[in-house]
């Protein structure tokens, strides 16, 4: 019985230290990141879309999709525009999950105060529930890079975004974060 108790305590202690180390490494990586660019694959309702994206903290984003519709998503920090050849939508960022995903300080505070979960021994992720938003944010367990997120979109569809080919802290032309007009 004593051996079982010792093994359980050892396992608990090991897991707690591992979780703390992952939290420390992820927050350190986020603290060192001002911006990052990447390629992505986004899956919504079983349909994949691909593209490239640039995120600059706090809350700025420019994403261009590889589609014939010329779809882009732009955030200037307070509003988000989704524009295609035929459609134009503008939302306050506070009404979207991007209010949290694009806020580095919010993410760091959530990571510090929450438990990290593991997935396939390759990823760690944090579950965030804020203002009716259910968000999972995934980090690579090896280099602690942000590798994607999972959210419900405005139509209650599950949207999964996987990011890869990440470049951190590159020179960015600030003009890309200017919201496009509805023409």
Integer distance in angstroms from the first to the last C-alpha of the chain? Answer: 74
The structural domains of the chain, with segments of one domain joined by +, span 2-177
Provide the residue count of the chain. Answer: 183
CATH of domain 2-177: 2.50.20.10
- Predicted pLDDT of residue 24: 94
Q: Nearest-CA neighbor of 113 among 25, 23, 22, 30?
A: 23
Residues 87-114 as b/e (b if ≥16 CB within 10 A, e otherwise) read eeeeeebeebbbbbbbbbebbbebbeee
pLDDT of residue 119: 85
Residues of the chain short of pLDDT 50, as ranges, are: 1-18
pLDDT at residue 4, rounded to an integer: 45
Which pTM does this prediction carry?
Answer: 0.85
Contact indicator for 124, 118 with CB cutoff of 8 Å: yes
pLDDT for position 15: 43
- The per-residue pLDDT for 9 is 33
pLDDT of the residue at 5: 37
């Amino acid at each position: 019985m004593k051996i079982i108790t010792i093994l359980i305590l050892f396992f608990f202690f090991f897991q707690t230290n591992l979780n703390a180390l992952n939290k420390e490494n992820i927050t350190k990586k986020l603290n060192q990141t001002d911006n990052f660019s990447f390629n992505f694959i986004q899956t919504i309702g079983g349909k994949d879309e691909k593209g490239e994206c640039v995120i600059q903290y706090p809350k700025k984003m420019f994403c261009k999709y590889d589609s014939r519709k010329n779809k882009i998503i732009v955030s200037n920090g307070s509003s988000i525009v989704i524009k295609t050849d035929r459609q134009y939508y503008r939302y306050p960022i506070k009404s979207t999950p991007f209010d949290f995903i694009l806020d580095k300080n919010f993410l760091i505070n959530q990571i510090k105060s929450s438990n990290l979960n593991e997935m396939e021994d390759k990823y760690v992720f944090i579950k965030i529930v804020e203002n009716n938003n259910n968000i999972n944010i995934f980090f690579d367990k090896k280099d602690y890079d942000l590798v994607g997120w999972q959210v419900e979109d405005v139509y209650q569809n599950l949207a999964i975004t996987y990011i890869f080919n990440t470049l951190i802290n590159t020179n960015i032309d600030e003009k890309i974060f200017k919201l496009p007009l509805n023409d």
